[in-house]
Structure 1
């Protein structure tokens, strides 16, 4: 008798139904792509002529034939076509294929939303979503009161950053969003024939506008441009969806009743845009003030718009409905003297709130387009505004109008609670070396004969803790300081001003990049004390957050924090902040430093060590994960990443950076944005409550991972930092030089003016490897590590690694992300870029090593995961990647040829523009590249 377990008839029917649904979804996606592709083709024909359209079609069909049949003849034919084009034709072709990638992304996003809705309609909940996690928690015995208590001390904070990996202009994104809205309308609305024709025409109009819009920015972004771009996502999604999510969660916990009171607003938006000074000389004190004004202006404008709409809705007459005494008093205070509202107390109350809010805008010196209805006193805080709105809420509820209170008013009250007058919590960040130089200058001027930089670490700690206790200022108006020191002090003073103006939530964190020791944190404490954000009695108005980035710093992080929390003077500051200490972990630089495997493992080990240290000191740990979009910079599914954290590392509080193109992919669509916010909240809840501490990995897992990491580290460092000529190979075989010509951010690509890998920022490092389709930071070293480890541990062998993958979420996530990265890579395309290296011996030496490691990594990955091909376990993504290759490969081929021409000093300006367009198109086709 066979021991194989056979599926039941019910399971077979279920599987067939699932397969049928998948086929139907795939067919609908293809139909959307064909529709948009057909409209784009018509646009190209109309705008560029039949010859260009025919050329695009020849390239497209030849590339598809090559990929479908692996026809070498087709590949040679494709290369012949592409090599024979003029520069002018090349630019047109690149634009066509780039826009196709953008339109295909829209269709895929629309299909994902369609599937999300279908699952929600079928099950009432969506996999991985908050409702499902709440159901799991309640099944494990956590009642509504327990969950409310959990959220009362929780913090889930996505932090938007301006890291430059979004290659699209806002003008382009706006048009793409219109296309997405039109696709959505086709699905949701039953059109008449006339309406269907109008929708088709509008789609054509949007695609034509796209074609005639500059794909590339002509000028470099300023920091305030970046701020404005970031604020757009509040309009698209966040202003409405954050309050809606919290209200929906409150309803689910209360069963629609509000007797238990309001749920804590644990979801808080953060931002680095306009506050991140690390390596960006353009973020000054004045720019930071401008950032806060823009943020405040946007949220106050939103409140005023909502109050205007609320006033129109609350037309309740006094003789038809009772009101509370406090509502009557609020209405009587209103400066609104219109006779039309004399018998409408709610409208009078709202107009009074409106008047006070416009006065508040004047107090805060922010611009708004709305005019007051009369003179009124400004609010001193957002809590005062919330209190007035609560008066309306209580009056409606007490007079049997709860259903009205649960509408716009409820969402507005929640928005005020979430966003205050500052909109997003702005972090300030600077490199530890800058803080060190600033403090050194202040100390040396204040203490004659002192040389701070000559002091050892212990002497520095002693001096700095003494300064924290001293009421004497370090600065003097009689000393002439350097521009750098004056600039740093100006930023800290501007932060103190912002606290006084907007409240303490406006700038809650000061982050220290490249934090390497205790003195790095104490230096920031001294600077904060100098501007009054820390006082000598040990109270702090701001969190001091170390950012551990390199492999060495991650390994030292636990010891550093153990020492910090043991220092009486620092511990007083932590206790004044509610005994919560935030620690930021850097995924990007640790990857560039040690490779994908070692970076992931050292981050995991650092978290284990930090959890132990913080528990011993009875301080709550809040981890801030500096993740990028690409896997090489810590990217990948947020839910899986949070669930894979070691026990105790989440503990109800988490902050995560959202960067570059990931911001637009997650938050430009309201429904997708809401889903992503729910994912963060659900994963935080599950990791905190549903994963008991005893689920820590077995010791033999940790030992094996240590060994694999050491082997992968050796392979990665051996290639990147120890191979002679590797720097030359990298700068020759990638678009690193040309990326710097894109106007996609305000920050320089390197920290110093050198070609060294150490000084290069992680973003252009990862971005460059993605463009040439190698994605090297996302996998290099894994194959040789597995091969060597198995040879050294034959008694455990592959079976043990398969067990690791099956039983350990961390290892499973590591391999899953690698699976996706390798699926998007192409060694054949990468070989074309290697040909750009003029030194043939160097090219063969380095690319030969990369090719061998690529093959061995794929082989090891498939064996451990039990797959026959990459992405076998993720068919939707597999099809997406497979469908994209025929449109990506021509862009890569053209990019190589244009790079060759550009580096041969061809003066034609179209060549650089063509390279920039290919960067845009390839980035769009790969999606998470930065």
Structure 2
């Protein structure tokens, strides 16, 4: 039986290995032809020895001996070769996942968890009442927010080449070996691979924020314009058919957002001009798509009035006085759509200040709102259906209607974000200039709240037209004014939120509100009406302490009358953002995860007591150390009441391309977000029942122990920062040109001031992966203490509680990607032998302890027993990491030994690029 199962598994993965072998061979041909046989032979020798290392046939020194003393001009093509091997292996794995999914569906097997089909089955079985569903899904929202946190190391040119190869490989699998079409496709693949080989992997210049804006918007044209409206329509139809009396989802559930161009926390390059550029470019993408679709619809709906009847509404559109009465006189739909295009063209010109492609300039009146556009398109839709032409209405016209409903004139909501310290500085300067208070920063918290409340309740501005402010205050106010202009031009959804980083107090929240008032976004209102603001004030709780105090901070804010009025004007809704990256860096993996869960429990209680709807915004990064892992599992791992139909989460770095660069992948990932949100909202997914409090107390204890172990290493061990700097390429991460944002918030060597991206990415490069596991093993071992009953308790929680299971599953994924034998070579870069032995000894011991406790709790000796696809991925790709890691160590040693030549630096950056590609969620 086992042999048969093994044979079946081998047969299932044969296409994957065939694809890897084919693509590797194509790359090898390009290398041999353009680098020469000697370089090719060297690469082959290294590749063969790396695979022998994986099979434990030889020691790592076999690879090291080949690479020892290699000339840098030879090292560079070798590094590039293994980087491209990994990139092509990624591509093959993505194709394999598609094949497995298709085979699963073709076999008629039940839909898999994280699909909407599976979710609908669960909801049907729950037999929920219309009233209950209507209440829980009020104001439903699922919003993936693309951010400018940069860990996507690939250049766009490389990314585009990989996309084309994927498309060709997908076609290739449908033809036999001797088919001429297959041979033609393979020729095209060879051309694409050659193009990649001749393309530089890394940028010579750092990305500008303008580039980041363009990169973020490209996903709309690639996938999101098609996928998001289609999913919105499907989910609305599915839910309304189940609960027809609930009138669910009056607004589309899936509405995307962005931070790119609005997030200025630690990024000096975000200015008022950048905010204007980001909102205009987003709107330009939306208008451009609508106008292009209208042109195509005019061709498609050239129906003749001699053959079809139209409604009076369409007739009125077709007879608009700005249309040429002699053009297409018997084609009312075409004329009606031209009328729409003329008015939309005028809208775009007015909003953008320029004409865009497919504009029809007939001096028509602009549309006042997206709903007005939708009304006209709905009229065309109703007319088609009235004459029995539903098939035509359900095609391109339906897609355009859903797109306008989803994206409006703004395309995506641009969040604003700034650090509370900057707000305090700016507000102090404003109050001093206006002679309200000479030294606001010196005031205690209660006096700050009274002063700010009074200012928010008066229509008097603090600044006159001749006010003179410092550079920071002037810049901040200009940015808020640019946001105001965007809201006035593109609608309130263009800038929906103002996020306060490192929020620790009520005054932090009121300071942001005061800036919104001075910038013209917050209206103080009449004395009896109170203030209102279309932009929501969103506190971001990031550190362990701030998460612990988050609920009390929110409760205190909700007791302030002026803030109560602001929340009421927002429809009694309050959003709170939770920071995964800094909490992890502050307290370690297990403590951060539990602090977030505890914070959510307490925030839910505060919201319930205050009678408001709480919406949580999860600041998740791509890697587990920054809140990553499977989104569906993460949503189900939330506490009861924490979702309630609303979820926002950041999509960062390399996971953006992995999730949204291809329509099928984008559909699956967005579907999984909605599936998780619906299940977490409408079903009891926590599963703890009356045991919840005891389980929470157990986690409190584990969290305390894990934090103590983590802090002992990171915050208390003398020389730890120096060890980190010498044993990882953290200094070199800043040279990778992967984003506009500086690597540190401040010019300091403190771990606390280092951004989470270089912190996590550096440990990943060195194959330690410390932020994703350290401290957990000690906590688990100490608590169990050899007690079989306690171990059984943890095992039961693992099987019963999605939160605990997800924590251990994500930890296992990270540890499976670590390699402490490789990490030891990085540790050898540390000059102080005693320091190296002490700290690396602690890391190795904790790694072994954590793996041992994971096995004891789960009953699986293999870390990835619950994730066979990742296990196979690691099996396929990790031999390619061996030479990249070894070359990186060698080049770091040369650089730090004084060889700071441009080629050595380039070689290090190339290894970083290749390793980030191989590890995927690396930063």
Query: TM-score normalized by structure 1?
Result: 0.95
Whether 2:219 is the aligned partner of 1:219: answer: no
Which runs of structure 2 are paired with 1:232-251 in the superposition (5 Å)?
Answer: 232-251=218-237
Whether 2:384 is the aligned partner of 1:393: answer: no
Which runs of structure 2 are paired with 1:542-561 in the superposition (5 Å)?
Answer: 542-561=535-554
Contact 2:342–2:362 (Cα < 8 Å) also in 1: yes
Whether 2:599 is the aligned partner of 1:606: answer: yes
- Among 700, 707, 714, which residue is 1:713 paired with? 707
Further displaced range: 247-256 or 458-467: 247-256
Partner of 1:290: 277
Partner Cα distance (2:5, 2:225) in 1? 36
Partner Cα distance (2:163, 2:321) in 1? 41
Whether 2:757 is the aligned partner of 1:763: answer: yes
For these two proteins, the number of residue pairs brought into alignment is 914
Partner of 1:136: 122
Partner of 1:567: 560
Whether 2:488 is the aligned partner of 1:514: answer: no
Contact 2:607–2:614 (Cα < 8 Å) also in 1: yes
Partner of 1:153: 139
Partner Cα distance (2:639, 2:24) in 1? 45
Partner Cα distance (2:371, 2:359) in 1? 22
Secondary structure at 2:533 match in 1: coil
- Among 337, 348, 358, which residue is 2:335 paired with? 348
Contact 2:139–2:249 (Cα < 8 Å) also in 1: no
Whether 2:841 is the aligned partner of 1:848: answer: yes
- Among 686, 692, 703, which residue is 2:697 paired with? 703
Partner of 1:741: 735
| Shift in alpha-carbon separation, 1:886–1:795, aligned structure 2, 3 A | closer
Provide structure 1 residue ranges, at least 5 long, that are not aligned to the other structure. Answer: 1-11
Contact 1:168–1:215 (Cα < 8 Å) also in 2: yes
- Among 87, 91, 94, which residue is 2:79 paired with? 94
Partner of 2:306: 319
| Shift in alpha-carbon separation, 1:253–1:651, aligned structure 2, 3 A | closer
Provide structure 2 residue ranges, at least 5 long, that are not aligned to the other structure. Answer: 525-529
Further displaced range: 78-87 or 312-321: 78-87
Secondary structure at 1:624 match in 2: strand
Partner of 1:299: 286
Cα deviation, residue 432, structure 1: 0.3
| Shift in alpha-carbon separation, 1:858–1:422, aligned structure 2, 3 A | same
| Shift in alpha-carbon separation, 1:829–1:266, aligned structure 2, 3 A | same
Contact 1:647–1:695 (Cα < 8 Å) also in 2: no
Partner Cα distance (2:685, 2:582) in 1? 31
Cα deviation, residue 151, structure 1: 4.9
Partner Cα distance (2:353, 2:375) in 1? 22
Contact 2:260–2:414 (Cα < 8 Å) also in 1: yes
Cα deviation, residue 746, structure 1: 0.5
Partner of 1:863: 856
Partner of 1:7: none
Partner of 1:674: 667
Partner of 2:681: 688
Partner of 2:266: 279
Partner Cα distance (1:634, 1:800) in 2? 26
Contact 1:113–1:672 (Cα < 8 Å) also in 2: no
Secondary structure at 1:274 match in 2: coil
Secondary structure at 2:532 match in 1: coil
Cα deviation, residue 340, structure 1: 5.3
| Shift in alpha-carbon separation, 1:300–1:99, aligned structure 2, 3 A | same
Contact 2:133–2:682 (Cα < 8 Å) also in 1: no
Which runs of structure 2 are paired with 1:11-90 in the superposition (5 Å)?
Answer: 22-72=9-59, 75-90=60-75
Secondary structure at 1:815 match in 2: helix
Cα deviation, residue 742, structure 1: 1.1
Whether 2:745 is the aligned partner of 1:751: answer: yes
Partner of 2:103: 118
**CA offset digits 1:734-758 (Å, max 9, x no partner):** 1111111111100000011111101
Partner Cα distance (1:124, 1:398) in 2? 38
Partner of 1:440: 428
Secondary structure at 1:621 match in 2: strand
Partner of 1:228: 214
Cα deviation, residue 35, structure 1: 1.2
Contact 1:335–1:373 (Cα < 8 Å) also in 2: no
Contact 2:773–2:814 (Cα < 8 Å) also in 1: yes
Cα deviation, residue 141, structure 1: 1.0
Cα deviation, residue 583, structure 1: 0.2
- Among 575, 581, 587, which residue is 2:574 paired with? 581
Further displaced range: 596-605 or 443-452: 443-452
- Among 474, 486, 502, which residue is 2:462 paired with? 474
Partner Cα distance (1:18, 1:358) in 2? 61
Pairwise CA RMSD: 2.1
Secondary structure at 1:374 match in 2: coil
Cα deviation, residue 335, structure 1: 3.6
Secondary structure at 1:759 match in 2: coil
Contact 2:146–2:216 (Cα < 8 Å) also in 1: yes
**CA offset digits 1:414-469 (Å, max 9, x no partner):** 00011111111000000000000000111122226631011001110111111111
Whether 2:632 is the aligned partner of 1:645: answer: no
Partner Cα distance (1:482, 1:677) in 2? 44
Partner Cα distance (2:208, 2:680) in 1? 39
Partner of 2:527: none
**CA offset digits 1:337-380 (Å, max 9, x no partner):** 27451110000011111111111111012552223153311112
Partner Cα distance (1:334, 1:870) in 2? 71
Which runs of structure 2 are paired with 1:884-895 in the superposition (5 Å)?
Answer: 884-895=877-888
Partner Cα distance (1:835, 1:131) in 2? 52
Whether 2:817 is the aligned partner of 1:824: answer: yes
Partner Cα distance (2:321, 2:129) in 1? 43
| Shift in alpha-carbon separation, 1:370–1:579, aligned structure 2, 3 A | same
| Shift in alpha-carbon separation, 1:561–1:282, aligned structure 2, 3 A | same
Partner Cα distance (1:127, 1:119) in 2? 13
Contact 1:25–1:111 (Cα < 8 Å) also in 2: no
Cα deviation, residue 861, structure 1: 1.0
Secondary structure at 1:545 match in 2: strand
Query: TM-score normalized by structure 2?
Result: 0.96
Contact 2:146–2:260 (Cα < 8 Å) also in 1: yes
Cα deviation, residue 50, structure 1: 1.1
